Copies of this chain bind each other. A is one copy, B any other.
Amino acid sequence: MTTSDDLAARVARLEDLEAIKQLKYRYWRCLDTKQWDEMTECFTPDASAAYGEGRYTFAGRDAIMQFLRDAMGVQSGTWGHHHGHHPEIELTGPTTARGVWALHNYLLNPRAQRGVRMACYYRDEYVKTGGVWRIKHTGYTYLYNEEWSRADMPSLRVLAPVDGR
């Protein structure tokens, strides 16, 4: 027999998985649309990050956000997509979880004639405070990472964003 309390716990688990996925989707949306204030709220104040196999390591939300604004802000001339796939989220306690995600990243910097393509695997940690899930740790290792000069393809035309030409 299934009691109502058992069921409630199973429903809460499914809701937590959905909430953590939406958290990470908001993180990537804010990154690619350069919405830094909204993005800040995705992290706990004491969050840590180890991007690029630990090459870019930061302690604290402020340090992470400074790095992301510098690397991807409008002034950088870099546009692109960070698309996250394959969520394997595991709840490790009532207010803690970890997650594995695949990343497909494509960047273009028309001014610098630079192109980047990479695929990675994230290993994240999440915590829930006041009913809200946030990223406590994030970091990824590479499947591959390649760069090129866009001058290799002389016909390339950027139609959007207009100020990215």
Contact = CB atoms under 8 A, between A and B. Distances in A.
A83 interface: yes
Interface stretch (A41-49, A63-71, A98-106, A128-136): A98-106
Interface in A125-160: 142-149, 151-160
Contacts of A53: 160
A4 B5 contact: no
Contact of A18 (B7, B8, B14, B80): B14
Contact-residue size bin, chain A (C-beta under 8 Å from the other chain): 35 or more
A83 B108 contact: no
B86 A29 contact: yes
26 contacts: A2-B8, A11-B14, A14-B14, A22-B87, A25-B87, A32-B143, A33-B121, A53-B160, A81-B102, A81-B144, A83-B85, A83-B86, A84-B85, A104-B104, A108-B146, A142-B159, A142-B160, A143-B160, A145-B158, A145-B159, A145-B160, A146-B158, A148-B155, A152-B152, A152-B155, A153-B153
